[in-house]
Structure 1
Amino acid sequence: MNNLKDKWVLVTGASRGLGQLIAAFMAEQGCHMILHGRNLKNLEQTAEMVKKHNVKVHMVTCELSDLHAVDGMLQAIDTLGVDVELVFNNAGFQIGYHEDYYKTPDDDFLISYKANTVAPIKICYHFLPKMIEKGFGRIINTTSDIANEPQQAGYSASKAALDKLTVDLAGKLTGTGVTLNLVNPSWCQTDLGGPHAPNTPESALPGLVLPAFSSDKVNGLLINAQDFRNRRLSDALLMLENLHCYCT
C-alpha cells in the first residue's frame, strides 16, 4: 500500500457529499489538501474537518463549466509551489431531468460536457506530465452507472465520454509510475443523487480512494466503489489487486 503521508491532493467538489468524505479520508492519512469548490464559503466546513488532522490546506474556486475559469484555477494551484501528486476529479454537474426527453435542451449537453468531461480532462492534461516526470501520480475520475435514462442524457453522455477519454489516456501511462482510473460510487444520497438513493455517501468508502493507494498495475480500470463497502482499506486493496491480477 502506498504511503501517501505529506503528499498533496487536489479534490474537486470538496465542499460537500462525496468530495468532502474523500478530503477527510485523505487528510486522515496525512495528506495535505487542495480543496476545490464554487466558492470559498462553501469550503470552510471541509477545511475545518481537514485541519483537525494537522495537515496543510489550500482552497481554490471556479465554476467547472467555465473552461477559462478552470485554466485560472490551475494557474493558481501552480503558484502554490507544491507538487500535486494525487487528484480526485470528483465534482459532477447534473443540469436537468426531463420526462419529455425528446425536448432535451441543447445546453444540457453543452454545459454537461464542459463540466463533466472537458474540465476533468483538462485537469488530467495539466497534472499528468508533471506526475510522469516525477515518476509517481494517481488520478481518480468519478464516473456514473446511470443507464437507460434518456431523461438525463446530458449527464450520462458526458460521463460516458469521460470514461472513454480516461481509459484511452491510461493506456499511455504503462511503466511511468502514474495511474489513471475511474471509480463509480453508484447512486448515493448526496445533493446530486437525492434522498431516495439506495446508498449512503459513506458506503462509497474506501472504494472511492482505492486507486490512490494501489500499485501502478491498477490502471485504466472502472472500479465499483460499492464492491468494497464496509471493508478496511488494507482488505479492500488486497481484494482490488487480486481481482486485477485474476482479470489480467
Structure 2
Amino acid sequence: MLDVKNKWALVTGASRGIGRETALAMAKNGANVIVHSRNLAHTESLVEEIKKLGVDVFAVAAELSNEEEVRKMADTVLEKTTVDILFNNAGVMSTFQNPQWQVDASEYVRTYQINAIAPMILLEKLLPGMLEQKFGRIINTTSVVKNQPALGAYVASKAALDKLAQDYAGRLKAKNVMINSVYPGWIKTDLGGEKAPHDVETVIPGMIIGAFVPKGFTGQWIEAQNYSGKSLEEALEMLEEQK
C-alpha cells in the first residue's frame, strides 16, 4: 500500500460531513492535512483533533464561488508546501427548479462555480508541483443523481467534473498523477438530508482509496459504499480485483 506519511493532502469542504471524515482518515493514515472551509473558525475543532494524531495540519479559508478567493487560497497553500493529494470534496446542491423546464441561469453559474470551476482552478494551481515531483493523487467527489431535470444545475456541474477527470487522466498517467472520481453514496449530511440511508462514517475507506491507488489506476469511478466496513488494505485489494 502506498505510504502517505509526510505527504500533504488538501481537503476542500472539510469542516463537516464527508470532508471532515476524509481529513481525519488521511491523518490517521499518516498524511499531513490542509483543511479548507469558508471560514477558519469552522475548522478550529478539526485542526485540534488532527494535531492529536501526530501529523502536521493547517487550515485555509475561501468562498469557492469567488474565483479570486480560490486562487488566493491556493497561493497561500503553495507558500507553505506542495500538495501531493487533492480532494475536491466541497460542493453545493442547486435549488430545485419549478417548473423544471425554466432555467435559472444564475443558479447554474453559482453551482458550476463551486462544483466545477473551483476544482479546475485548484488543478491549474496545484498540478505543476505534482508534475514536477512526478507524484500526485486527485480525488473528485461526484454524484449519481439522474433523471432530475429540476436539479439540472447540480447534475450538469458534476457531469462536467467527471468529464474533466476522464480527459485529464490519460494526459497525466505517465507522470504518476492519478485522477479518479468517487461517489460517496446518499449520505446523511447537510447536502444529503436526513432521509439518506447511509451515515457519514460509511464513506471511509471508500472516499480515500484514490489517495492510495498505484500508478496506472486513473480515470476510474469508485463507489465508496462498496467498501464500507472494510479496512483500507481490504478495499485496495478489492479495487485491484475489479480493474
* Structure 1 length-normalised TM: 0.95
Residue aligning to 1:114: 113
C-alpha deviation, 1:126, in angstroms: 1.6
Residue 211, structure 1, aligned to residue 195, structure 2: no
Q: Distance in 1 between matches of 2:182 and 2:215?
A: 16
| C-alpha distance after superposition, 1:44-101 (max 9, x if no partner) | 1211221110111111111111111111111111111x12101101000113123422
SS in 2 for 1:174: helix
What's the counterpart of residue 25 of structure 1? Answer: 25
Mapped to 2, the partners of 1:87 and 1:206 lie a distance apart of: 16
Partner of 1:102, secondary structure, is coil
2:230 and 2:212 mapped to 1: Cα distance?
Answer: 15
Superposed CA deviations along residues 185-216 of structure 1, whole A, max 9, x for unmatched, are: 12110111111011111111111100111101
The corresponding residue for 1:61 is 61
* Structure 1 counterpart SS, 2:9: strand
**SS of residue paired to 2:85:** strand
The separation in 2 between residues aligned to 1:25 and 1:211, in whole angstroms, is 13
2:161 is the alignment partner of 1:162: yes
How is 1:173-184 mapped onto 2 (pairs within 5 angstroms)?
A: 173-184=172-183
| 1:128 has 2:127 as partner | yes
Using the alignment, how far apart are the partners of 1:215 and 1:134 within structure 2? Answer: 16
Segment drifting more, 190-199 vs 42-51 = 42-51
* Whole-angstrom distance in 2 between the partners of 1:108 and 1:32: 35
SS in 1 for 2:23: helix
1-structure distance, mates of 2:225, 2:199: 10
Aligned residues: 243
What CA RMSD, in Å, does the superposition of the two structures yield over aligned residues?
Answer: 1.1
**Matches of residues 1-248 of structure 1 in structure 2 within 5 Å?**
1-80=1-80, 82-244=81-243
Structure 2 unaligned blocks of 5 or more? none
**Equivalent position amino acid for 1:178 in 2:** V
Counterpart contact for 2:74–2:126, Cα < 8 Å: no
SS in 2 for 1:79: helix
Q: Which amino acid aligns with 2:69?
A: A
Q: CA deviation at 1:144?
A: 0.6
Work out the CA distance in 1 between the residues paired with 2:203 and 2:123.
23
Partner of 1:234, secondary structure, is helix
1:20 maps to a residue whose letter is: R
